[in-house]
Amino acid sequence: MTAPFGSKLAEKTAQRGTLCAGIDPHPGLLDAWGLERTVSGLEKFALISAEVLGAETAVVKPQSAFFEAFGAPGIAVLERVITLCRDAGALVLLDVKRGDIGSTMGAYTAAYLSGDTALSADAVTVSPYLGFGSLAPAIEAARAGGRGVMVLARTSNPEAAELQNALLPNGKTVAQSIVDQAAAINEGAEPLGDVGVVVGATVAPGELDLDALNGPVLAPGFGAQGATVSDLRKLFGAELRGVLPASSRDLLRHGPDPVALRDAVRRTQLLIRES
């Protein structure tokens, strides 16, 4: 029987720390690494990143859009990244932010969570803004296959507040409603549930009540976007239980030298653990 994603995540982070390392082949990073903005440049960037990050961190988060930008050859590189990271012992959280209804959501689920395609990951990011219930196919498939979903709740981009902090008739914000619905699914799971939420590390403390979530929290915005370990503790509590601080550019800027990239990862892990 396949172990639940929450259990696998807790075990892996206990071994390797909680840092979630992103692989974002942004054109500017390709330039900084001295690589061409071609599939060949993408491949070199992505494979070096995967070999280092997959061996050092508990969770690696490839950003699908930067691979999709190169068409089918870029998707082929993404498939290799997923395999490399998993073979190196990391869990792969594929950042695709998919969200739709009915059979379309079912098709996204088949692509990323079924286990039958080269794009299947250990977890994916999903958008609930067609209604949390629209995510049912993804959540059901993920839980059945020992995989997870990370639901966008309160993101750090400035445009998000207008929608995510809007008040519902019950007096809760949209973001809090998303957290509460995830918490209901995770209730009773040990050590963590399989349905996480995405909450930006730069969000103001006190906006959300995460006490009952009992699931992972992906916290982008750590590092290059300005959030510190102190900010994380103010927002999520001193123990940072289930929190995955996510960093991409702040790590990747140390490439293409694999040793420098590895050392940056280790420094960041130490900072999270000891600060």
Which residues participate in catalysis according to the annotation? 97
d(CA 30, CA 45): 7
State the amino acid at position 101 in one-letter form: I
Q: Rounded to whole angstroms, what are the CA distances from 111 to 54, 97, 142, 253?
A: 22, 13, 12, 31
Which token pair is 50?
A: 């995967």
Helix 258-274, helix 229-236: angle, nearest 10? 40
CB 243 within 8 A of CB 232: yes
User: Rounded to the nearest 5 degrees, what angle is found at the Cα of 10, between the Cα atoms of 116 and 18?
Assistant: 100
d(CA 219, CA 205): 13
d(CA 27, CA 271): 28
Task: Give every CB contact of residue 110 below 8 A, 6+ residues apart in sequence.
Answer: 116, 117
Which token pair is 99?
A: 């969200």
DSSP symbols for 139-160: HHHHHHTT-EEEEEEE-SSTTH
Give the bridge partners for 22, in sequence order.
Answer: 61
Nearest alpha carbon to residue 132 among 198, 181, 175: 181
How far the first Cα of the chain sits from its last, in Å, is 38
